[in-house]
């Protein structure tokens, strides 16, 4: 099954799961018990739906609940990336912000950032979702509960080759600074562009250094007429 809106509240999408289970039972040939579950958020949606059906004494006829890589203890998106999504939204591109700020994302995120200068904390939507889970018993009691993870859980890796190679950014420091507005003008017989000053980050020739130690000033570039 699928959802018309994947980013909708887990509580609302659970109603779709319940309807699908009841329809399957009505159309099923034989008495084989069902296997109900999902990938990632799907494991949470089906978990809540089955637990709620049991609380309401509805027969879901489910023998196994399967969750594959589902963030039952909370999903994690680096705070820096969340802040960057808010920053991009301020520049006019809210593509990523709409994803991490959707009801489903806030219900899953262990810590949520509500603004560039916000404080990482549990979203009220997640708090409500956890309370609703507790109200229905947290987990379904009748089916066997199976969980599958594609990772080891200790950060070591599972030996599987990745789909590509990229730069290793571990132990990399991120430095930010604001640049002044560039100023252009004319000097002598040629056209001169005055570039903004780039502050030196340290005493080494690293990105951001002005380069004066090499006997040159890269802030001034002359172009012939």
Is the alpha carbon torsion for 15, 69, 73, 80 positive or negative?
A: negative
State the average pLDDT over residues 132-156: 87
Could you tell me the CA-to-CA distances from 134 to 39, 41, 91, 112, 122 in Å, in that order?
22, 18, 40, 21, 17
Banded pLDDT at 191 (limits 50, 70, 90): low
Domain residue extents for the chain: 1-150, 183-223
Banded pLDDT at 154 (limits 50, 70, 90): confident
Q: How many CA atoms lie within 13 A of 181 on its CB side?
A: 2
User: Hey, what are 14's tokens?
Assistant: 């659970």
Reported as a single tens digit per residue, the pLDDT across 165-175 is: 555 556 656 55
> What percentage of the chain reaches a pLDDT higher than 90?
53
Which one has a higher pLDDT value, 193 or 89? 89
User: Hey, what are 121's tokens?
Assistant: 């904390």
State the average pLDDT over residues 35-60: 95
Mean pLDDT lowest among 170-174, 181-185, 205-209: 205-209
CA distance 169 to 162: 16
Which one has a higher pLDDT value, 152 or 28? 28
Has residue 212 got a pLDDT over 60?
A: no
Banded pLDDT at 163 (limits 50, 70, 90): low
Which one has a higher pLDDT value, 119 or 2? 119
């Amino acid at each position: 099954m699928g959802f018309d809106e994947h980013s909708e509240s887990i509580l609302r999408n659970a109603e779709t799961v319940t309807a699908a289970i009841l329809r399957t039972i009505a159309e099923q040939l034989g008495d084989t018990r069902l296997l109900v579950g999902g990938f990632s958020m799907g494991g949470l949606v089906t978990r809540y739906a089955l637990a709620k059906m049991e609380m309401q004494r509805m027969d879901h006829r489910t023998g196994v609940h399967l969750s594959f890589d589902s963030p039952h203890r909370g999903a994690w998106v680096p705070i820096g990336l969340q802040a960057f999504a808010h920053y991009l939204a301020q520049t006019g591109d809210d593509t990523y912000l709409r994803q991490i700020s959707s009801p489903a994302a806030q219900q899953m995120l262990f810590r949520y950032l509500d603004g560039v200068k916000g404080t990482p904390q549990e979203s009220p939507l997640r708090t409500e979702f956890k309370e609703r889970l507790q109200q229905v018993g947290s987990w379904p009691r009748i089916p066997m509960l199976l969980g599958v993870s594609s990772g080891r859980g200790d950060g070591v890796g599972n030996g599987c080759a990745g789909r590509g190679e990229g730069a290793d950014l571990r132990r990399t420091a991120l430095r930010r600074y604001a640049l002044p507005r560039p100023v252009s003008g004319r000097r002598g017989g040629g056209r001169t562009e005055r570039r903004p000053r780039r502050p030196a980050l340290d005493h080494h020739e690293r990105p951001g250094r002005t380069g004066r130690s090499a006997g040159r000033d890269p802030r001034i570039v002359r172009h012939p007429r």
